[in-house]
Amino acid sequence: MKPESLMMSHGYKPELSQGAVKCPIFLTSTFVFASAEEGKDFFELAYGHRQSRPNEELGLIYSRINNPNLEILEDRLTLWDAAAGSAMFESGMSAISTVLLEFLKPGALLLYSAPVYGGTHHFIHHVLTKFGIEAIEFGVNDHQEEIEQKIASSGKAKELALIYIETPANPTNDLFSIAEMVELGKKYTELNGHKVYVAVDNTYLGPIWQKPLQLGADITIYSATKYLGGHSDLIAGAVMGTAEVITRVKTLRTFLGNMISPHTAWMLLRSLETLQIRMERQQSNAIEVAKFLSKHPMVERVYFLGEGGIVSEKSQKIYKEQCLGPGAMISFDIKGDERKAFAFLNKLKLFKLAVSLGSTESLAEHPATMTHVDIPAPSKIKMNITEKLIRLSIGVEDPQDLIADIQQAFEG
């Protein structure tokens, strides 16, 4: 069956909860063992002191380690990515920082694509550096040879441990090839004699329109605050991957204590039921809005993965290889300057002026002075994040109402 058919039931057994058709919220810190022997068994497994016996599953111990809401959510989420396992976190940033800490160590080298989410950039440059972890970045215009040149000239090629990419990149929808990064990871795994992992922040298109694990990536990361949650009412994160990856990530999570709460996990279970229809509607709305924008005389350029949006041949090739749809994020350059952009943003009525994305309501923001304000000016220009750029996250409203709102905001 398709994931959308299983989002209401997978992993939940009504007979364990008085027959309730919906999974209750398990607001409990700890769980009662049936016997001391059972408690011993659970701990042996949880701490990896022995292999599990046939059909033996880890029992419930303590909500920092596991909880029914967490386990059911993690099981359901794996269906979209056909992942062996998943681990849920209290935010996208806690998912990202836990992966970076687990797969890097003092002296290691990290290779990452730019631009990345502002919080990720900060963690790489202000936290990882404290642990002696070095990072080099590459941009959308760097070819494979140039990337390898950068790795070589860092003098730490042998220490390369993790390749981290965010694609499509926020806010301009620039595409990075997942397959190329997987090849690069394989090459350095052989050269270095240790595994070089490839992680993809899949928040923008996943899990419906892009599936990095199926393209060979080792780790997929989500800010579940965005499309997975989808209602602007929670903060959460997710990591998907092989059994080996998830065991490592969950072990570190147990000791950092940054797991998702049962309440937030329950809210995400509700959100997942409508994930497919929300994202489909958001995408079809975005296609209409992008079409309108690309013909409007006040618009200089549209950054969208659909019709009229993708310009370079290389991007078209990557899009065909790894994207199943254009998604619902649109940026565009307005003709004029910051004043013009602000006038447009201030005049919107149906679109709310707020950062974040992926929710049922449409949102608009100004990356250069808001989400991407921290990027140094020369880099911003190189990445097309100028004062003219406006970012839209398209929701589930009526598409004609969205277009009418944009139309009246231009007329301001």
Ligand X SMILES: *Cc1c(COP(=O)(O)O)cnc(C)c1O
- Chain residues that interact with ligand X, rule: CB under 6 A: 91-93, 117, 119, 166, 170, 201, 203, 223, 225-226, 235, 237
Closest separation between CB of residue 96 and ligand X, Å?
A: 6
Of residues 383 and 403, the one with the C-beta less far from ligand X: 383
Nearer to ligand X, 68 or 237 (CB): 237
The residue among 89 and 138 lying less far from ligand X, judged by its C-beta, is 89
In the complex, minimum distance from the CB of residue 393 to ligand X, in angstroms, rounded to a whole number: 10
98 or 203: CB nearest ligand X:
203
Please give the Cα distance from 317 to 43 (Å, whole number): 50
Please state at what angle helix 338-347 crosses helix 399-411, rounded to 10 degrees. 130
Write down how long the chain is.
412
Residue closer to ligand X by CB (options 234, 402) is 234
**Minimal distance in Å, beta carbon 203 to ligand X?**
4
Angular region, 361: left φ>0, alpha ψ -120 to 50, beta rest: beta
- 3-class DSSP state for residue 367? coil
Containing 251, the helix (H) or strand (E) segment is: helix 243-256
CB 256 within 8 A of CB 98: yes
Distance CA(203)–CA(201), nearest Å, equals 6
* CA atoms within 13 A of residue 203's CA, in its CB half-sphere: 30
Q: Cβ of residue 31: shortest distance to ligand X, in angstroms?
A: 28
Instruction: Name the DSSP letter for residue 390.
Output: E
Q: Which residue is nearest to ligand X (CB)?
A: 92
For ligand X, the closer of residues 253 and 409 by Cβ is 253
Alpha-carbon gap, residue 185 to 280, rounded angstroms: 33
CB of 368 to ligand X, least distance (A): 17
The 3-class secondary structure across 304-343, one letter per residue, is CCCCCCCCCHHHHHHHHHHCCCCCCEEEEEECCCHHHHHH
The most distant pair of C-alpha atoms in the chain lies apart, rounded to whole Å, by 74
Shortest separation between residue 162's beta carbon and ligand X, angstroms: 16
Nearer to ligand X, 67 or 91 (CB): 91
CB of 201 to ligand X, least distance (A): 5
